[in-house]
């Protein structure tokens, strides 16, 4: 393990990168705040999107504020909004925090499996362009 690079160690131990683990923690915290499972007023951090009915995605979308300063851009209420808005409805509709964690991990695993199959050329017919774009957005991978 000592001679392996960071990415090789992560894949051998089947772990996400530190950046992905931080993002996971932020999404879990956003879920607890937005669903009222934590005694925090969500209006202090997030502004719900005005019209969720005509939009793609889930029913708990958050309005993305523009930030010109880095201190605001990297604040909790701003840094994970894009990733939150990209989650599918079945992940956001989780009945509990543990269910949300499991669904989020399952969603990320599915997306990375689809992308790996596409890259290797196996199952290219089963993966459409919409799924591929979704995988690229969620994982932040450029192919």
pLDDT tens-digit series, residues 44-102? 778 777 765 555 667 788 887 777 777 777 777 788 888 888 888 889 899 999 999 99
If phi > 0 it is left, if psi is from -120 to 50 it is alpha, else beta; for residue 107 that is alpha
Question: Which DSSP category does 13 fall into?
Answer: H
Contact 40, 33 (CB under 8 A): yes
Higher pLDDT among residues 113 and 24, named by residue? 24
In this structure, the number of other CB atoms found within 10 A of the CB of residue 139 comes to 14
Cα gap 36→56, rounded to integer Å: 23
Cα gap 115→113, rounded to integer Å: 5
Contact 46, 62 (CB under 8 A): yes
Higher pLDDT among residues 29 and 77, named by residue? 29
Question: Which DSSP category does 56 fall into?
Answer: S
Contact 61, 48 (CB under 8 A): yes
Q: How confident is the model at residue 7 (pLDDT cuts 50, 70, 90)?
A: confident
């Amino acid at each position: 393990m000592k001679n392996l690079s960071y990415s090789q160690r992560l894949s051998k131990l089947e772990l996400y990168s530190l950046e992905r683990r931080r993002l996971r923690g932020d999404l879990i915290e956003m879920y607890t705040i937005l669903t009222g499972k934590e005694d925090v007023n969500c209006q202090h951090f997030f502004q719900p999107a005005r019209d969720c009915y005509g939009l793609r995605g889930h029913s708990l979308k958050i309005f993305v504020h523009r930030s010109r300063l880095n201190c605001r851009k990297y604040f909790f209420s701003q840094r994970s909004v894009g990733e939150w808005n990209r989650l599918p409805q079945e992940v956001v509709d989780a009945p509990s925090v543990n269910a949300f964690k499991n669904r989020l991990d399952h969603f990320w695993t599915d997306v990375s499996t689809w992308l790996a199959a596409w890259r290797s050329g196996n199952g290219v017919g089963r993966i459409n362009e919409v799924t591929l774009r979704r995988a690229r957005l969620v994982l932040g991978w450029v192919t």
